Amino acid sequence: MTTLTSAGRVPGRRRTGFVWGLVAWAAGILFALPIGWMLLTSLHGEEDAATNPPSLAAPLTLDGYREFFGASTGTSPWPALVNSLTASVASTLLVLVLAIPAAYALSVRPVRKWSDVLFFFLSTKMMPAVAGLLPIYLVAQNLGLLDNIWLLVVLYTSMNLPIAVWMMRSFLAEIPVAILEAAAIDGAPLPTVFRRIIIPIASPGIAATSLICFIFSWNEMLFARVLTGVRSTTAPVFLTSFVTSQGLFLAKVCAAALAVSLPVLIAGFAAQDRLVQGMSLGAVK
C-alpha cells in the first residue's frame, strides 16, 4: 500500500513541476517580449519603425545604431557612458565598504535596538527624491560641485546605502556564529575575519547587493539631469537628447535604449548564478 501511494505521488509531483515550468516560461516570454519588440524596432528604418506592431518582413538596417554613435551628428555617446560607469561602479564600491560593516554590527554582533536602526535606514527612502532636489542643488551650487561626476557618486552612495544595509544584514545573519567564535578563539583579528570568513561566505549576497546598487545607479536620471550639464552627463540623460522638437525617432531611440541597457544586461547575465544564490541565502532561514 505504501509503495502504491508513493508511486502515485511521483506523477502528481511531475505534473505540478511541469505546470510551474510552463508558468515560468510564460512569465519569462512575457517579460522578454518588450525587449524583443524594442530590438526589432531598432533594426528597422524610421518609416518601418513607425508601424504598430513592427513588421517582421521589413528590411533590417543598423542606421539607428549608427545614429546613436554619432554617424550624422558627430556627437559621441562614450563620455556619457563612461560617466555612468564611473558613477555606478564607484558608488557601488563605496556602498559595499559602508554596508558590510554596518550589516555586521546589526546581525552578527547586534547593537541594542537594532530593529529601530534598520527602520531608520528604511525611513530615509520614504521621502520622494524630488523633495530633496532643490536643497541638494543649492548646496552643490555653493560648493562649486555642479556638473561634477563625484557629486553623483556621493548621492548614489547615500541613496543605495539603506537598501544595501537591509540586504546585507539578512545575508550575514545566515553565517554560522560558531565559525566566527572559532576564529575569535584562534586569535584572528576582525579584518582577517572579514577577509577570510565573512566575505567568502557572503559573496553571493554581496554579488546580489552589488548588482542591485549598480542597476539603481545606472538608471538614475532625475539628479543627473538637474545636477550635470556637459562634462558629467550620464547615459540616461544622453538618451533624452534623441527626443527633439523635430519629433520622436523610434528606431534611433530604441537603438540608443538597447545600447545603454547593454551594460546592465551583461552584468545581470554574468552575476546570475551569484544573484540566485544570494537571494536564496537571504530568504531561507
C-alpha separations of 12 from 1, 22, 23, 116 in Å? 17, 15, 17, 46
Nearest Cα to Cα of residue 224 among 211, 212, 241: 241
Predicted local confidence at residue 1, as pLDDT: 47
Question: How many degrees, rounded to 5, is the angle at CA 230 between CA 226 and CA 232?
Answer: 70
For residues 194-216, average pLDDT: 88
- pLDDT at residue 236 above 50? yes
DSSP state of 128: -
Predicted local confidence at residue 50, as pLDDT: 79
pTM: 0.83
CA end-to-end distance (rounded Å), the chain: 35
For residues 63-85, average pLDDT: 87
Residue with cell 555617446: 77
Predicted local confidence at residue 141, as pLDDT: 93
- pLDDT at residue 109 above 80? no
For residues 98-114, average pLDDT: 81
What is the CB neighbour count within 10 angstroms for residue 219? 16
Mean pLDDT of all residues in the chain? 83
